[in-house]
């Protein structure tokens, strides 16, 4: 197809074939709307298509990190491990696509470059890199929160004689580390998951750490047939209960403050979360005030530091791995690992502090720091993160009413109503984007919540004969203010995290997700709908 042809007419274009785009397609079909998913990758799966680095797995339990919309689907799929590895999740997504015959409406290798609103038609003109054009009443952005990878911009990669990779753009054939000297830059979730895996295969691994973050053990293990059967016997109830928890999955929340219990009780609770209760994000819910009370938070932080010191044999390395006191526990996204700290006891692993002596360039033989220290390497791995939450949307030329660019509107940070819609951009919707619980929750359940809400909204608009649904400016302003106020009551904005945009030079420092929790958010969006889509104009 070339752009001399008229655009393909659809009710909706959905951008992205990850968990969100796939379920949105299924849902729109169910209500009889025509839709096409445009996906940049050569396969479906979004995050789970791109992030194939060794050790990649989800840190939300597989029994929760899966669709709940089909009882048959959840009954027939057998998760094998508590935390599913990336290949299993990708297989699952492909299974869903085939099982519901969705593939025929998914166009791969179709990176969307622009979406322009036509005010006379009340339709979006969506164009891909390859020149395909679509005219759709609705444009639904299922572009993901962590889909634009960022590598350091230092010079020399063109002269580096070895190979280099980014965690989020991993070769499908894998990387052979055997006999290689590997440098890994970044100690967020990706770096923490990769470190033990690379260490086992490489001749030598140097981990370049700029900021020590907190990591807790996943306590991953196989799911037994008995456990699976028990969950499946009451899966619906489990899903409902999950939506009543702050994060949309089970973390057994404690309703006590860390400061109202004795030292002994506190330690016991932390130990229980670290190990007995199953590890992972449960630590964040050990007490009800860890994210709002610095004194309580300090207790959790100190507990993790004590675990690092007890695990890592070399005291200098242990100290370097301990997060500093000015980084409250959990305010940078918590890492969940298998044997991360233990790996630094291996003879072939070294930790290098690049906070005090930053990496400045790649050389033909490796990496060089500001002080002139050289690290000879055969492979460099960037686990340096993403232009989170806004990167994917800002990478598309999105223009709304009066030709306003979304990039310009978001110059000082994202502005949405309910995290779903943007004033001045009618019929454009964002799934699990900024201003919604999104990355602070079980993404799959938050996605389902958004897709269900939006699908109902579009059905109601159709029943009313409306051609245009638009968030009102006042509603958006109120929501942005509310999102900020709620965040400011917590410790989150005190950290330099990607939640705040502070991992990217020049990005506005704004706390982007909605921190009040899934139940509070769900109540608000349901009330908005029940109140005739309060804050939206439907005409």
Contacting residue, 112, 359, 466, 491, with ligand N01 by CB under 6 A = 359
| Site track 474-503 with ligand N01 (rule: CB under 6 A), x = hit | ------------------------x----x
Q: How far is the CB of 388 from ligand N01 (least distance, A)?
A: 7
The answer to whether residues 530 and 536 touch, using CB atoms and an 8 Å cutoff, is no
**Residue 295, φ and ψ in degrees, nearest 5:** -60, -45
Which lies closer to ligand N01 via its Cβ, residue 517 or residue 535?
517
333 sits near ligand N01 (criterion: CB under 6 A) = yes
The DSSP H or E segment spanning 201 is helix 189-201
How many of the chain's residues bind ligand N01 (CB under 6 A)? 27
Instruction: Report how far residue 41's alpha carbon sits from residue 17's, in angstroms, rounded to the nearest whole number.
Output: 9
Binding piece for ligand N01, criterion CB under 6 A, among 87-95, 118-126, 239-247, 383-391: 383-391
Q: Give the separation between CA 143 and CA 13, rounded to whole angstroms.
A: 12
Q: Which residues between 167 and 226 bind ligand N01 (CB under 6 A)? A: 167, 185-191, 193, 208, 210-211
Token pair of 140 as six digits: 């639904």
299 touching ligand N01, by CB under 6 A: no
* 59/470 with CB nearer ligand N01: 59
Q: What SS3 class is residue 394? A: helix
| Residue among 94 and 211 whose Cβ is closer to ligand N01 | 211
8 Å CB contact between 243 and 519: yes
Residue nearest to ligand N01 (CB): 188
Q: Minimum distance between the CB of residue 224 and ligand N01, rounded to whole angstroms?
A: 23
Cα-based distances in Å from 50 to 15, 122, 158, 166: 16, 34, 23, 10
441 scored as a contact of ligand N01 (CB under 6 A): no
Nearer to ligand N01, 27 or 150 (CB): 150
CB atoms within 10 A of CB 144: 26
Q: Residue from 115, 126, 146, 318 that binds ligand N01 (CB under 6 A)?
A: 146
Site string for ligand N01, 40-79 (x = CB under 6 A): ------------------xx--------------------
**Rounded CA separation 453/207 (Å):** 44
Cβ contacts of 463 within 8 Å, gap of 6 or more:
none
Binding mask 247-286 for ligand N01 (x = CB under 6 A): ----------------------------------------
Rank residues 191 and 248 by Cβ distance to ligand N01 and give the closer one: 191
DSSP string, 492-534: GGGS--GGGTTTSTT------S-TT-HHHHHHHHHHHHHTTST
Cβ pair 438, 487 in contact under 8 A: no
Q: In the chain, count of helices (H) and strands (E)? A: 16, 20
**Cα gap 197→336, rounded to integer Å:** 14
Interface with ligand N01 (CB under 6 A) = 58-59, 146, 152, 167, 185-191, 193, 208, 210-211, 333, 336, 354, 359, 383-386, 439, 498, 503
């Amino acid at each position: 197809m070339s752009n001399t042809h008229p655009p393909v007419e659809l009710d909706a274009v959905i951008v992205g074939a990850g968990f969100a785009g796939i379920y949105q397609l299924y849902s729109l079909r169910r209500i009889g709307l025509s839709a096409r998913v445009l996906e940049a990758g050569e396969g479906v799966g979004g995050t789970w298509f791109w992030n194939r680095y060794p050790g990649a797995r989800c840190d939300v339990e597989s029994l929760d990190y899966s669709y709940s919309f089909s009882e048959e689907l959840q009954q027939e799929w057998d998760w094998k491990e508590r935390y599913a590895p990336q290949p299993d999740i990708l297989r699952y997504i492909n299974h869903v696509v085939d099982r519901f015959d969705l593939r025929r409406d998914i166009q791969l290798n179709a990176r969307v470059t622009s979406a322009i609103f036509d005010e006379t038609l009340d339709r979006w003109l969506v164009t891909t890199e390859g020149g395909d054009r679509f005219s759709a009443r609705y444009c639904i952005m299922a572009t993901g929160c962590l889909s634009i990878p960022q590598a350091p911009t230092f010079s020399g990669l063109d002269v580096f004689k070895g190979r280099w990779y980014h965690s989020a753009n991993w070769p499908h054939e894998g990387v052979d580390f055997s006999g290689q000297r590997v440098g890994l830059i970044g100690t967020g979730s990706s770096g923490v998951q990769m470190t033990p895996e690379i260490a086992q295969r490489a001749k030598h691994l140097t981990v370049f750490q700029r900021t020590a973050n907190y990591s807790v053990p996943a306590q991953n293990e196989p799911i037994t047939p008995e456990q699976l059967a028990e969950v499946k016997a009451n899966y619906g109830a489990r899903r409902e209960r999950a939506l009543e928890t702050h994060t949309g999955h089970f973390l057994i929340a404690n309703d006590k403050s860390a400061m109202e219990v004795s030292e002994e009780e506190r330690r016991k609770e932390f130990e229980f979360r670290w190990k007995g209760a199953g590890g992972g994000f449960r630590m964040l819910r050990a007490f009800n005030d860890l994210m709002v009370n610095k004194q309580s938070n300090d207790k959790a932080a100190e507990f993790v530091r004590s675990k690092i010191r007890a695990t890592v044999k070399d005291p200098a390395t242990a100290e370097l791995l301990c997060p500093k006191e000015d980084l409250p526990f959990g305010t940078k996204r918590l890492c969940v690992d298998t044997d991360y700290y233990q790996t630094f006891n291996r003879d072939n692993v070294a930790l290098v502090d690049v906070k005090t002596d930053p990496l400045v360039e790649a050389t033909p033989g490796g990496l060089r720091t500001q002080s002139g220290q050289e690290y000879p390497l055969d492979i460099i791995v960037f686990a340096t993160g993403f232009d989170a939450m806004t990167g994917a949307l800002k990478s598309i030329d999105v223009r709304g009413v009066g030709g306003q660019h979304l990039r310009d509107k978001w110059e000082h940070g994202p502005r949405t109503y309910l995290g779903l819609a943007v004033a001045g951009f009618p019929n454009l919707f964002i799934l699990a984007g900024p201003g919604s619980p999104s990355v602070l929750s079980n993404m799959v359940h938050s996605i389902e919540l958004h897709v269900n809400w939006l699908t109902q909204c579009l059905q109601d608009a159709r029943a009313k004969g409306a051609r245009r649904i638009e968030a009102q400016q006042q509603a958006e302003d109120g929501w942005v203010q509310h999102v900020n106020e709620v965040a400011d009551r917590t410790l989150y904005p005190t950290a330099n995290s990607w939640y705040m945009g502070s991992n990217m030079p020049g990005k506005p420092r704004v706390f982007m997700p909605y921190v009040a929790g899934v139940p509070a958010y769900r109540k608000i969006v349901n009330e908005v709908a029940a109140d005739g889509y309060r804050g939206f104009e439907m005409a």
